[in-house]
Amino acid sequence: MTNEAELSNRSVGRAAIWATLANSVGQGLSLIMFLVMSRFVSPEDYGAVAIALILVEVCRQFGVDPPALAVLSKSEPTDRDFSTCFIMVMIYAVVVGLGLYLSAESIAWALGRPTVADALQPISLMLVFIALWRSHEAWLTRRMMFRALFFRMLAASFIGGAVGITLGVMDYGMWALVAQQLTFASVSVIAVWSATKWRPRLGLVWSELMEILRFSRPIAVGGAFNLLGKQSDVVIAGYFLGLERAGVYNGAKRLNLALQLMLNEALKQVALPSLARVSGDDDQMRAAFVKSLSMVSFIAVPIYLGVSAVSYDLVSLLFGEKWVDVGPILAIVAIASLFHAMEELIVMTFLAKDRPKWMMYFNSVSAITNIVVIAIAAPFGLETMAWAYTLRVMLFFPVVLGAALRLLEVSAWRGVGAMFGSLVAGVAMWLLVWWLHQHLADWHVALRLPALILAGVAGYLTFSAMVNRAVFAEARLILRQVAARAETAA
C-alpha cells in the first residue's frame, strides 16, 4: 500500500524533475533518430508506418491505458489492484493484437494503401509488449519512481534508434522503422520489469475487476476518441492524398509530438497523483488547479508559439530539401498543441475529481467533430487540413475549460486570467520573431535560426515581466528552488 503521507513536497519536486527528464531525454533521442533516419527513409514509408502505429495506439488507448489509469486514480492502490490490471490488459492485448494482425490486409484494402498491411502485421505485436510493461510502469509512477522510468526510456530509445538507423543506412526502408519500434517496445519490457520489485499474481477478485472496469469504461472510450481526434488527420491524409503526403504531414506532427510528449506527458504523470491528493479539499483543489494552469501556460506558450514562428528554418536545417513541405504544416499544428497542453491538465482534473465520464463525453465530441472537419478539408490539401484541425482545437478549448471551472467552482475571470498574461507575451514574441525573420532573410539558416531563438526567449521573458509579473516571479522562485535542490543533492 502506498504511503502517501510520507511523500513530501521535496519528493514531489524530485519526481517532477525525473519525470521531465524521462520524457525530455527519451523524446529528444527519438527525435534525433527520426531526423537521422529521415535522410534514408522516404516520406511514403513513414506514412505507412505512421498509420500502422496510430491503429495500434488507438487499441492501446481503448484497453491498455484505462485500467492503469483507474488504478493510479485510487487513493491507496494495493498490489492486488496492479495484478488485476496486469491480467486484464494482457488478455486484451493478446486478443486485439491477434485481431489486428489477421485484419491487416482488409484494413489496407479499405484505405486503398496495400503497403499499410506490411507495416501493420509486425507492428501489431507492439500491443502485447506495451501490455507487458504498462502495469509495472503504473506501479513505479504511483510511487513516483521516475528515475527508473528515466533509465528505461534512455535505454529503449537509444537501442531502438541504433537498430533503426543501422537498418536505414543499409537501405531497408520501412523495415528499419518497424524494427526500431519493436526494439524500443521489447527493451522497455526488460527495463521496467528489472526496475520493479512488484510481480503480478494470477487470480482475479471479481469485486476488484468490476471496480476497475467501472472506472475504465469511460476512460477507454474517451481515450480512444481523444486519440482519433488528434491522429485521424494522418489516416485521412493517407486515404485522400496518398502515403507520401501523409508522410509529410506526419513529419510535421512527429516534430510537434516530440514536444508534446516531452511536456504534456511529464505534466500528466505528476499532475494526476498530485491533484488526486488534494481532491478531497475543494479550496486546495481550486488553488492547485489555477496555479497549475498558470504555470502550464507560462511554459507551453513560448515553446509551441516559438516552434510555430521558426518552423520553416527549423525544418530546412534539420530535414533538408526532401522534407521542406513539413515547415508550413508544423507552423500551423504547433498552435493546436499549445491548447492540447492546457487541455491535458483539465483532463487530469476530471479524473482527480472522479469524473471520468466527463473526459469520455468531451473526447468523443472532439474526435467526431475533428474527423468530420478534416475529412471535408483534406481534398483541398495539407495546409487546409492543418488549419481545419487547429481551428477546431482552438474553438473547442473554451468549452472544456468552462466545464473544469464549473466543476471546481472557479470564476471564469480567475481561470482565463491564469493564462491571459502568458498568451499576450507569447503573441508578442511571435510577432517579434516574425519581424526579425523578414529583416534577416539574407542570413544563412544556420545563423538565422539561433538568432531567432535567442531573440524569442529574450522577448518572451521581457514581455512576461511586463504583463505577467506574478507568474513570472513564481517561475523564478521555482527555478531557484530547483537549483538549490540540485546543489544540495550534489
Q: So what's the pLDDT on residue 121?
A: 94
Please count the other Cβ atoms lying within 10 Å of the Cβ belonging to residue 488. 8
- State the residue for C-alpha cell 498568451: 423
Do 461 and 471 touch, CB atoms closer than 8 A?
no
User: Residue 3 above 50 pLDDT?
Assistant: no
Task: Kindly state the greatest CA–CA separation across the chain.
Answer: 69
Tell me the C-alpha distance between 355 and 360, whole Å.
Answer: 9
Q: Three cell numbers at 91?
A: 488478455
Among 70-74, 102-106, 294-298, 470-474, the range with the most confident prediction by mean pLDDT is: 102-106
| Angle separating helix axes 412-439 and 469-489, nearest 10 degrees | 80
One-character DSSP codes across 440-472:
TTTS-HHHHHHHHHHHHHHHHHHHHHHH-HHHH
Q: So what's the pLDDT on residue 23?
A: 63
Q: So what's the pLDDT on residue 295?
A: 79
Tell me the C-alpha distance between 278 and 342, whole Å.
Answer: 20
Tell me the C-alpha distance between 50 and 31, whole Å.
Answer: 15
Tell me the C-alpha distance between 183 and 177, whole Å.
Answer: 10
Among 23-37, 190-204, 338-352, the range with the most confident prediction by mean pLDDT is: 190-204
Nearest to 293 by CA among 486, 71, 468: 468
> Which carries the bigger pLDDT value, residue 132 or residue 358?
132
Q: Three cell numbers at 268?
A: 500528466
Tell me the C-alpha distance between 396 and 393, whole Å.
Answer: 5
User: Residue 8 above 50 pLDDT?
Assistant: no
Calculate the alpha carbon distances from 226 to 250, 309, 364, 391 in Å: 17, 27, 7, 16
Q: So what's the pLDDT on residue 5?
A: 41
Q: So what's the pLDDT on residue 306?
A: 93
Which segments within 261-329 are labelled E, that is strand?
none
Please count the other Cβ atoms lying within 10 Å of the Cβ belonging to residue 194. 12
Which segments within 345-393 are labelled E, that is strand?
none
The CA-CA-CA angle for residues 274, 280, 281, to 5°, reads: 90
- State the residue for C-alpha cell 531563438: 453
| Residue 268 CA, distance from chain mean position | 9
User: Residue 210 above 50 pLDDT?
Assistant: yes
Average per-residue pLDDT for the chain: 82
Region 170-191 average pLDDT: 92
Tell me the C-alpha distance between 227 and 331, whole Å.
Answer: 21
Do 254 and 34 touch, CB atoms closer than 8 A?
yes
Tell me the C-alpha distance between 25 and 202, whole Å.
Answer: 35
User: Residue 189 above 80 pLDDT?
Assistant: yes
Please count the other Cβ atoms lying within 10 Å of the Cβ belonging to residue 447. 10
Tell me the C-alpha distance between 141 and 154, whole Å.
Answer: 17
Region 361-378 average pLDDT: 86
- Single-letter amino acid code for the residue at 305: L
Do 184 and 157 touch, CB atoms closer than 8 A?
yes
Please count the other Cβ atoms lying within 10 Å of the Cβ belonging to residue 8. 9
Ranges 12-21, 428-437, 456-465: which has the least confidence: 12-21
Q: Which residues contact 266 (CB under 8 A, 6 or more apart)?
A: 16, 19, 20, 22, 23, 24
Band of pLDDT at residue 4, cut at 50, 70 and 90: very low
Tell me the C-alpha distance between 248 and 264, whole Å.
Answer: 23
Region 262-266 average pLDDT: 62
Region 57-64 average pLDDT: 86
Q: So what's the pLDDT on residue 177?
A: 92
Do 386 and 253 touch, CB atoms closer than 8 A?
no
The CA-CA-CA angle for residues 45, 47, 50, to 5°, reads: 110
> Which carries the bigger pLDDT value, residue 321 or residue 13?
321
User: What tens digit of pLDDT does each residue of 266-282 get?
Assistant: 565 555 555 656 656 67
pTM across the whole model: 0.68
Tell me the C-alpha distance between 279 and 143, whole Å.
Answer: 18
